Structure 1
Amino acid sequence: MTATPPIVDRDTWQRERDELLVREKAHTRAGSALAAQRRRLPMVEVDGGVTLLGADGPRTVLDMFEGRDQLLTLKHMWHHGKGFAGQCRGCTATLWNFQDATYLEARGVSFAIWCEGPYDEFAPYREFMGYTAPWYSLEGVDSPGISDGWLNAYLRVGDRVFQTFETDGRGVEVMMPALQLLDLTTYGRQEEWEDSPEGWPQDPTQSWFMRDGRPIPQWTRPGVTPTS
């Protein structure tokens, strides 16, 4: 039987919930303070003329702003020759959790995917997954205009382009609301590294990234069956 939290009366539960709420509010305020400091970071100029191949042909980084003042880019790994099921589970989780940039665009921010694979190889995958954000190929591109970060922020000032921020690792979790929601549940993410009570479920063989040999979102795509 899976372990569960102790059972208490409503007053006891409310008291402990209120104690945790104090820490949650402090955490929220700390996050706001970090965001304020992030907005005050200096910026570095990059080559806005770097060209990447997309659905409409070669486009410069400056073009990717689409007339807006800001640009966010997400780097997507690509495993050559691995087929759809063999593509990066972490990149899939990140991008699947962020399907639409409408609210970003309303604040003058464009969004694009920079994929490490060749365009002709990943274009069918983008269509298969149903992604609507523009994808561009990093294949063969070596320029200081292309950040090593997984998630990158740029600012356009006239025809000049500046990088203002980059992050990787768990910094990309900002794009994954599913993780934030799992953190609210009793059993959390059910990952081995989590600090959970004894007996809480953890399955090292099937994380929330993968199931039965595929990144989990792929099982929702038309035509995908257990034998495909």
Structure 2
Amino acid sequence: MAGQVVSQDEFIKARKEFLAKEKAALRANDELVSELRHLPMVKIDKEYTFDGPNGEVTFADLFDGRKQLIIYHFMFAPEDEVGCDGCSFQADNLPSSLSHLHARETTLVLVSRAPLAKVEKFKARMGWAFPWYSSFGTDFNYDFHVTNDETVTPVQYNYKGKDEILNDKNPLNRVHVKGESPGMSVFLREGGDIFHTYSTFARGLDTMLVTNRLLDITPLGRQDEVDLKYHDEY
């Protein structure tokens, strides 16, 4: 059993003490998010094209007429037949309806290096409806450090260089020195200009996992011992 069995009065007392800690954490997060909105931006001068269900599109096209763009960098290499199971878990936790984002001038899309035919096949299997584009044959993933190949560009992931990654105490983090890695990037469009405003990687993506947030408030927690699978394989 997760916790001690107590009287109702003792439960209320302990819950109120913990509530004070929860409120402090929420206030701290409010301050952090406010600070995030004032981070500096970088203008994107490079031209990128992507393959979509209706043909080739430009970077600006991904915004779909809105001012803001959120891209989830989904791990799906050209040689793979299916997408990453961890990224699939992340995708399962994205909004089932994008209308609330759209009403607030924000578009959400997925981008992977796998060719569009593989992307479309896997997307159909998973039953996802959100837009998903292929960056196959472009520098996009390398430039935003979600694909690492030092023959193409210097290694960087989660704002760490190659040596820092290889010296990471967590061996699970060392894999990011080569190949595909997950991430999320945010862009702002002002007139004909596009600006990169934010990117997060690794544990930074955990805050978007609604499943984990729900499990966090249960006595059994996240139950990390349960093997992660594609949602159609449980």
- Counterpart of 1:97 in structure 2 is 93
- How far, CA to CA, are the matches of 2:78 and 2:144 in structure 1? 21
Work out whether 1:137 is the aligned partner of 2:134: yes
- Counterpart of 1:35 in structure 2 is 33
- Counterpart of 1:114 in structure 2 is 111
Work out whether 1:20 is the aligned partner of 2:53: no
- Counterpart of 1:186 in structure 2 is 219
Matches within 5 A, 1:39-118: 39-47=37-45, 49-79=47-77, 83-84=81-82, 87-98=83-94, 99-118=96-115
- How far, CA to CA, are the matches of 2:185 and 2:210 in structure 1? 18
Match of 2:194 among 144, 156, 161: 161
Gaps of 5+ in 2: 147-182
Deviation per residue, 1:164-194 (Å, 9 max, x gap): 0000112112321111010000111122xxx
How large is the Cα RMSD of the aligned pairs? 1.9
- How far, CA to CA, are the matches of 1:179 and 1:124 in structure 2? 27
Does the aligned pair in 2 maintain the 1:69–1:108 contact within 8 Å?
yes
Does the aligned pair in 2 maintain the 1:46–1:144 contact within 8 Å?
no
Does the aligned pair in 1 maintain the 2:49–2:135 contact within 8 Å?
no
SS at match of 1:120: helix
- How far, CA to CA, are the matches of 2:127 and 2:136 in structure 1? 22
Deviation per residue, 1:43-77 (Å, 9 max, x gap): 00114631011111111110111111000000111
More displaced stretch, 124-133 vs 144-153: 144-153
- How far, CA to CA, are the matches of 2:97 and 2:206 in structure 1? 16
- How far, CA to CA, are the matches of 1:48 and 1:162 in structure 2? 11
SS at match of 1:8: coil
Does the aligned pair in 2 maintain the 1:48–1:61 contact within 8 Å?
no
Deviation per residue, 1:123-179 (Å, 9 max, x gap): 111112111111111222114995225111000010110000000112112321111
Work out whether 1:10 is the aligned partner of 2:27: no
SS at match of 2:233: helix
Residue 116 of structure 1, CA deviation: 2.1
Deviation per residue, 1:66-94 (Å, 9 max, x gap): 1110000001111555544xx31110010
- How far, CA to CA, are the matches of 2:214 and 2:30 in structure 1? 19
SS at match of 2:232: helix
Distance 1:10 1:80, change over 3 A: same
Query: Structure 1 segments of 4 or more deviating over 3 A?
Result: 79-84, 143-146
Does the aligned pair in 2 maintain the 1:47–1:144 contact within 8 Å?
no
Distance 1:8 1:143, change over 3 A: closer
Does the aligned pair in 2 maintain the 1:95–1:175 contact within 8 Å?
no
- How far, CA to CA, are the matches of 2:46 and 2:7 in structure 1? 61
TM-score (norm: length of structure 1): 0.80
- How far, CA to CA, are the matches of 1:51 and 1:133 in structure 2? 19
- Code of the residue aligned with 2:8 in structure 1: it is R
Residue 218 of structure 1, CA deviation: 2.0
Identity %: 30
